[in-house]
Structure 1
Amino acid sequence: MKKIFIYTVGALLIVGNFGCKKFLNQVPDDRLTFDQVYEKKNTIDRALANIYATIPSQTEDRFPSQAGNIGPWTAASDEADYTLPNFTEVVNSGAWDATRGEVNYHWQNFYRGIQSASAFMANVSKCTDCNIGGIDFINRYYNEARALRAIYYYHLVRQYGPVVLLGNDPIASDAPLEAISKPRNSMDECIDYIVSELDATIAGLPATPQSAEDYGHINGSVAEAYKIKALLTAARPLFNGNPDYANLRNQDGKQLISQTASAAKWTRLATAAKAFLNNPNYASYTLYTVSTTPAGVPNTAFNRAFIATRDVMLATWNAEIIFARTGDATNYQYSVTPNHLGAPDPDKGGSFLSASQQVVDAFFTVNGLSIQDDPSYTASGTSAYQAPDQNDQNASRSISNMYVNREPRFYTNITYSGRRWINPQSSIITSFEFTGNAGKSNISNNDYTKTGYTPRKHLGVSGRTTGRPTFSVIRLAEIYLDYIEALQESNPSDPDILIYLNRIRSRAGIPLYGNGGIAVPSDMRGAIRKERRVELAFELDRYFYTREWKIAETTDTQIRGLNITQNAPAFFTPVVTENRVFQKKHYLWPIPNGEVQKVPVIVQNTGW
């Protein structure tokens, strides 16, 4: 039985210096036996932390499918591109298959996390000092591990589709092959298992963090939020009656993805989301807003919206954050900081995560309209304009009209040429023009933007070398958007659609739909889609949205940006910066070839 715990216990085994054969024949005092790991709360805490380590780390976006268990989600969507070569380049060219190590990387990591969680659950009851101050940590930690196991299955299914459910008991590392040779479960079975496991944990967890030590742990609200995410994936067209997977069957003929579209899946999602929003135990969650602006910034509604939409990602564990993770943000912040010529290190980065023209154009105008619907918008020419940054007051300058009078979230998300740099102590005006201070002509390597933009969201305001405590994983605005998407597909006349959509727009500082604002859109699905795109920009949502809605064949075929080989005015002419390959098989990742060879009853995904 002890052999099954190699993943959980491995990080806890501390090996000393071996000086002689006599020493090698001893059991070192500082090396924990398996039973000792589960005797005391302090070592159980470390074992549980090891299970949490499987949660993908947004901070490692620069090294997709190589570090932090994070995939190529940002730059393999139509939001962005990387100048720095990495796995996203392979994905976007279509030059990947089931033999790639990156394909195997996530499969193995999530199944290791699942095995570690099962092993932990089977043994946490051995703890002798886990009842502290009346808190039953055995029960709490058991349910945290159980929820994490379900969450890792969720990550697997949205990436690979239906997977193999291993069962609730840990599998011995020396188990015979026939004992682990299981075929894939159906998508509906996977989702039902994930949901039932998350539901089962809620009663054994605090509803929300009860103390500072609880932040970052799974609680009832986090489990319910992941349940909503799983139901959303199940309801969208990729897995809900998709004829493209008619032939995706196990060897015994079992259909893995239902061929009948079910409206009940949307209703189930809407019910779960509404239950979350109406749960009095979660009443402390609210959209993050500010009542005043920083010193020197006029206290206008526009400026308050800018500060709120910026700082919801920066203010640690604010009232909107349901779940967040810590991590070293050095790599991420370097990626989005422009390579300002001659600037000090805090204000000089790589600028190689490049925001697309598509996402720039997706943001509304200050009038709450799409750029193509607002007669006041023009992409040509320049105007004197002042961005809402704290260090940019009373200093309007001539910038492209593409960036004039846009909504507050635009200024939260995008660094463009003519924008003052984010550091309040800096006087740098970023220029991505060819000979600008962050332009391609001054850079001999890959540290430049392909598109003439870099993302600004998530970036701390004190320079790229300043650490930040957390990255948001799930926040309340996402639950709102999940809810209204479900209502639109199941009960489009429900008044909650406008109520919750307008709450997001109100916090964003743009006019509301109806009620004396702007006209209620005739295409409400399109309006919800657009609101989600800008509200959750650069939050690892867009990649999965375009795939689960089966629109990636349209959205993910190219990246557009500015002409970085020119100075103004030619620089501001949008061009295609990258053509991409997207085929139907790319909606799902392939099952790793090694797994299919090892367990032949696992059938490969369609097209691979």
Structure 2
Amino acid sequence: MKRIKNITTLAVAALMVSMGSVMTSCQENFLDVVPTDRVSDASILSDSVLFESYILNRYMGTRLTDKEAEGTNPGFGRGFEYAMWSSLTDESIYNNDDNTWLIQRGQIAPENTGIAGTFWGRSYRSIREINYALANVDKVPMSEGKKSQLRGEMQFIRAFRYHDLIRNYGKVVLLGDKVYEISDDLTADELFQRSDIKTAIDYAVAQLDEAAALLPASNDNNWKLGRATKGAAMALKARLLLYGASPLYNAATWQQAAAASKAVMDLNKYTLYTGGYRNLFLTNDNPEIIFSRIYAQGARHVTLEIANGPNSYNAWGGNVPVQNLVDDYEMMDGTKITETGTSYDPTQPYKNRDPRFYETILYNGAPYRGSTIETFTPGGKDSKDGPSNWNTSKTGYYLKKFMNDALPIDNPWDIAGTQTWIYFRYAEILLSYAEAQNEAVGPDASVYAAVNAVRQRTGVAMPALKTGLTQAQMREKIRNERRIELAFEEHRYYDVRRWKIADRTENVPAYGIEIGKAGNAFTYTKKEALTGKSFAEKQYWLPIPRAEIQASNNKLEQNPGY
């Protein structure tokens, strides 16, 4: 018998469609032809270069659904391929649906998971692939130092997959180091027993502690590979413990979460980027990035500029910010637009706002590619009166964050889309520390220092928080700071759930703005950009896809309410 596997994506069969997957076997007879796109186990385990390539490809994953990482394998998160994760929240809506509206409208079901149905299958497939490599790494002819580093990378990748499972489904099945084969009893109850959240987080954290001890402090000249480092493992641990301490999880303490973030800060390796908020996301190598995915020029994948740009530029107007988010940007003097004494002028709603607003959202009158955004009617070129009007924003806004104006919109293939996708950056660590420390002991000086460092960084320069805030007041400030600083970076979806406020934030209509023009005067009228937005209690967790439940012979427990 001879096993074969694809270096890029391990050839697997189904256990819960993906979970206990194994390689295909074939009879050694005259029909046994070696595929040209696959490499045998023996080749991988006898060649250190092939084995390391196998590990590097575990940072990616197979494409499991339509419009997911077109032309290349998706990474840990959806990143910015078509609909972003922000378009399942009160940050944006996806103009052309792409299986997002059903989630926004509370219609997600085990039989219809929209764009949210691949985490279970992809994660367990990856975990099985890592377990295989860990079980066989000692057979590979390479130095012990190299093996040690690869073990650290594998433990990091496996922990990241569990982190994705935990934050989406809550209770998960822990497989340990077991490599399941088709010959195993794949109907055993233990294979479908979901551990409680605390047990799962404790397991992943222990894996990350081991990984951090094995991983290098930096990748030196190999940073473009986006490989894990000690800081990446510690940052993932900090995020997991922050989630664990949150009300939805109740599986760790705020003291643990604060200590984990502080440990990353104490590395004295990472700093806030000082080249401007917008440039942070356009600079592939900067001191704020802890762990990222580098997109390769020449690889066929959807590019931000055409996917999200305004309709008059022949772009698709994809993930369009909602008024709900716009209203939460403070004024430059630090006041909210709704509070007494604010400097907000409703006749000039985009004047004197938090500088990050201008680097994140394209609004009527915003400068863009040598011209000006015009979402007003009648006649605005970026409104329904403009060209390519089927891509007109339903909210009156377009996305600016992440996009590089130097890259082409027309015919961008193999040229554009080169921006880094950042999984962990130092600003997240500072805000996580501030949140955990505030919950643990109240708003002490270190909490103020962490939040103010983010607010007053070069290129942002918002005023420091007022002194004398209560713990509750500081909590709201930190939550809003995360909303603004980390907008569109796949945090909001998980933040409102772990805080257990999604029943409030996601039951509010997704608003947009209608801008009328008469002469040189504008009028601003709030509108409902997406009808039927709704959130039910069960949506704090995703449903496990029905196919996974059926593949377990109904032994796998579904999440409540589904």
Which band: TM-score by shorter chain?
0.7 to 0.9
Residue 355 (structure 2) aligned to one of 404, 408, 411 = 408
Deviations 1:345-385 (A, max 9, x none): xx43111321011111111111122222374533433xxxx
Counterpart amino acid of 2:485?
Answer: E
**Does structure 1 residue 417 correspond to structure 2 residue 389?**
no
**Does structure 1 residue 113 correspond to structure 2 residue 98?**
no
Larger radius of gyration: 1
CA gap 1:76/1:526 in 2 versus in 1, 3 angstroms: same
Residue 432 (structure 1) aligned to one of 360, 370, 375 = 375
On the 8 A contact 1:4/1:170 being kept in 2, the answer is no
Counterpart amino acid of 2:395?
Answer: T
Q: Residue 300 of structure 1 aligns with which residue? A: none
On the 8 A contact 2:322/2:397 being kept in 1, the answer is yes
Q: Residue 232 of structure 1 aligns with which residue? A: 242
Q: Residue 316 of structure 1 aligns with which residue? A: 284
**Does structure 1 residue 540 correspond to structure 2 residue 481?**
no
Q: Give me the TM-score of the superposition, normalised by structure 2.
A: 0.85
Deviations 1:250-276 (A, max 9, x none): xxxxxxxx7xxxxx6111111111122
- The Cα of 1:576 is off from its aligned counterpart by 1.9
- The Cα of 1:526 is off from its aligned counterpart by 0.6
Q: Secondary structure at the match of 1:373?
A: coil
Residue 127 (structure 1) aligned to one of 125, 131, 140 = 140
Q: Secondary structure at the match of 1:575?
A: strand
Residue 86 (structure 2) aligned to one of 74, 78, 100 = 74
Q: Residue 99 of structure 2 aligns with which residue? A: 87
CA gap 1:61/1:548 in 2 versus in 1, 3 angstroms: farther
Counterpart amino acid of 1:271?
Answer: A
Deviations 1:171-194 (A, max 9, x none): 113422234633100111100000
Map 1:98-497 → 2, pairs under 5 A: 98-100=110-112, 102=114, 104-128=117-141, 130-131=142-143, 136-179=145-188, 181-212=191-222, 215-240=225-250, 265-279=253-267, 283-290=268-275, 308-327=276-295, 330-340=302-312, 347-373=313-339, 375=341, 377-381=343-347, 401-421=348-368, 423=369, 426=370, 428-434=371-377, 435-442=379-386, 446-463=390-407, 464=409, 465=412, 466-497=416-447
Map 1:2-81 → 2, pairs under 5 A: 10=10, 27=34, 32-54=39-61, 70=78, 73-81=85-93
**Does structure 1 residue 575 correspond to structure 2 residue 519?**
no
On the 8 A contact 1:267/1:490 being kept in 2, the answer is yes
How far apart are the structure 1 equivalents of 2:534 and 2:339?
Answer: 31
Counterpart amino acid of 1:588?
Answer: W
Counterpart amino acid of 1:420?
Answer: P
Q: Secondary structure at the match of 1:322?
A: strand
CA gap 1:534/1:200 in 2 versus in 1, 3 angstroms: same
How far apart are the structure 2 equivalents of 1:188 and 1:480?
Answer: 24
**Percentage identity across paired residues of the two chains:** 31
On the 8 A contact 2:320/2:399 being kept in 1, the answer is yes
Q: Residue 452 of structure 2 aligns with which residue? A: 502
Q: Secondary structure at the match of 1:473?
A: strand
- The Cα of 1:56 is off from its aligned counterpart by 10
**Does structure 1 residue 607 correspond to structure 2 residue 561?**
yes
Map 1:525-536 → 2, pairs under 5 A: 525-536=475-486
Q: Give me the TM-score of the superposition, normalised by structure 1.
A: 0.79
CA gap 1:474/1:160 in 2 versus in 1, 3 angstroms: same
Q: Residue 597 of structure 1 aligns with which residue? A: 550
Deviations 1:415-442 (A, max 9, x none): 0111111x3xx3x211112331111133
Counterpart amino acid of 1:592?
Answer: P
How far apart are the structure 1 equivalents of 2:359 and 2:286?
Answer: 17
Counterpart amino acid of 1:123?
Answer: N
How far apart are the structure 1 equivalents of 2:559 and 2:37?
Answer: 47
On the 8 A contact 1:513/1:519 being kept in 2, the answer is no
Counterpart amino acid of 2:406?
Answer: S
How far apart are the structure 2 equivalents of 1:536 and 1:480?
Answer: 12
- The Cα of 1:468 is off from its aligned counterpart by 2.1
CA gap 1:459/1:56 in 2 versus in 1, 3 angstroms: farther
- The Cα of 1:212 is off from its aligned counterpart by 2.9
CA gap 1:5/1:166 in 2 versus in 1, 3 angstroms: farther
Deviations 1:486-520 (A, max 9, x none): 01111104321001111111112111125xxx775
Deviations 1:439-484 (A, max 9, x none): 1133566411111001211011314433424121110000001101
Counterpart amino acid of 2:46?
Answer: E
Which structure 1 segments of 5+ residues have no match?
13-21, 241-257, 259-263, 291-307, 341-346, 382-400
Q: Secondary structure at the match of 2:338?
A: helix
How far apart are the structure 1 equivalents of 2:63 and 2:5?
Answer: 22
Which structure 2 segments of 5+ residues have no match?
13-28
Q: Which piece of structure 1 moves more, 104-113 or 474-483? A: 104-113
CA gap 1:157/1:97 in 2 versus in 1, 3 angstroms: same
- The Cα of 1:73 is off from its aligned counterpart by 2.1
Q: Secondary structure at the match of 1:330?
A: coil
Deviations 1:520-559 (A, max 9, x none): 5771111111111111111111111111111111111211
CA gap 1:404/1:118 in 2 versus in 1, 3 angstroms: same
How far apart are the structure 2 equivalents of 1:483 and 1:364?
Answer: 22
CA gap 1:360/1:95 in 2 versus in 1, 3 angstroms: same
Q: Secondary structure at the match of 1:173?
A: coil
How far apart are the structure 1 equivalents of 2:11 and 2:557?
Answer: 33
Deviations 1:275-306 (A, max 9, x none): 22113xxx23100013xxxxxxxxxxxxxxxx
How far apart are the structure 1 equivalents of 2:434 and 2:361?
Answer: 26
- The Cα of 1:571 is off from its aligned counterpart by 5.5
On the 8 A contact 1:363/1:407 being kept in 2, the answer is yes
- The Cα of 1:54 is off from its aligned counterpart by 3.1
CA gap 1:337/1:28 in 2 versus in 1, 3 angstroms: closer
Deviations 1:111-135 (A, max 9, x none): 111111111111222222x33xxx8
